[in-house]
Amino acid sequence: MRQYSNEFKEQILAECQEVGNVALVARRHQISENTIYTWIKKMRKNGSLKPLPKAEKQCLEELKKRLKAVSTENDRLKRLLAEKELELAILRELRDRVNPR
């Protein structure tokens, strides 16, 4: 099992973005496609290939929990707003039927 530097991994991922073909880049550098996909997954999850110190990981997990809670609340409020807009549209339609201009 080979160890690759973070700089090398970032270079490979940048090349994958430029080329748009992971298989081609993997063949060019004689690396397994699965290895590159693992790096991509890690990059998307952490935002970087460099590992975070433990305290920062705990902070990151807390931020993820808060973001999820805020996103859930935001979705709930969007549904509530949509319901209220629908109610207003129905009331306007009823008003216009009873009191045509």
Spell out the domain ranges in the chain.
1-51, 52-101
Architecture of domain 1-51: Orthogonal Bundle (1.10)
Residue the block writes with tokens 């699965």:
34
pLDDT, tens only, 10-55: 899 999 988 889 999 999 999 999 999 999 888 888 777 766 666 8
Q: What is the DSSP string of the chain?
A: -----HHHHHHHHHHHHHH--HHHHHHHHT--HHHHHHHHHHHHHHSSSSPPPHHHHHHHHHHHHHHHHHHHHHHHHHHHHHHHHHHHHHHHHHHHHHS--
pLDDT of 52-67, one tens digit each? 666 877 878 878 888 9
